[in-house]
Amino acid sequence: MMSYNELISTVEWIHHSEHSCLLIHKNGSKSVRNALFNYYGQDNLNCYTIPNQRGMYWTVIRNPIDRVISGLAFDMKVCPTATEEQIIENIEKSLYGLPSPLFRTEPILHENHTFSQSCYLINNPIDFYVDISDLTPFLTANFNHNTSYMIDYDKSRENYNKAEEVINKFGMNRLKDLLAFDIYLYEKIMSSGNLWKWQHGKVFL
């Protein structure tokens, strides 16, 4: 799994001349990437790990509890041989990218899908945020993009209920304690003036 330093050095940004988007795993990143590629054309976009231009910086955020469950569902889908006991034993490690023998059997899982959301947000310049619950109207208003066909793009929804059961056995209160800073940061952003709402409509010319 990626360490914190490895994650920070390899976060993915998509840049256009007017704005840059920080992609966060399990926060609609495939929908955002497709929307930008379709709207601007892939040749008019650049992907960098470190922003090298000014403009408007934005990203998509998600309720930390729901994001962890969704990320765990994805990892369970691509690593079906993992036992429930193994998953429970490794949940805490997975939140912080600590070395773990679990979820290492597939190359895609070198990208940790339950890594703490705050690790993406800290030390990255963000001007405004879009909550994932508003992602469809945001992409429609700004990029004429319909995300309905992207629902459950990675086919992990079938494991969502299983992931919820595993989390409940791990302990929801325990998970909330581990995600205390993520939850605090998410709630602060949700109550801030930096959050896109449908009334804001189109923000990119």
Tens digit of pLDDT for each residue in 164-199?
999 999 999 999 999 999 999 999 999 999 999 999
Q: Which residues contact 30 (CB under 8 A, 6 or more apart)?
A: 150, 153, 154
pLDDT at 131: 97
The pLDDT of residue 141 is above 90: yes
Mean pLDDT (the chain, rounded): 83
pTM: 0.86
The type of residue at 4 is Y
For residue 28, what is the DSSP state? S
Nearest to 139 by CA among 53, 70, 26, 37: 37
Round to whole Å and give the CA distance between 22 and 28: 11
**What is the spatial order of strands in the sheet that 19-23 belongs to?**
46-48, 12-15, 19-23, 56-61, 128-131
pLDDT of residue 2: 47
Judged against a pLDDT cut of 80, whether residue 53 lies above it is answered with: no
Q: What tokens were used for 32? A: 């955002």
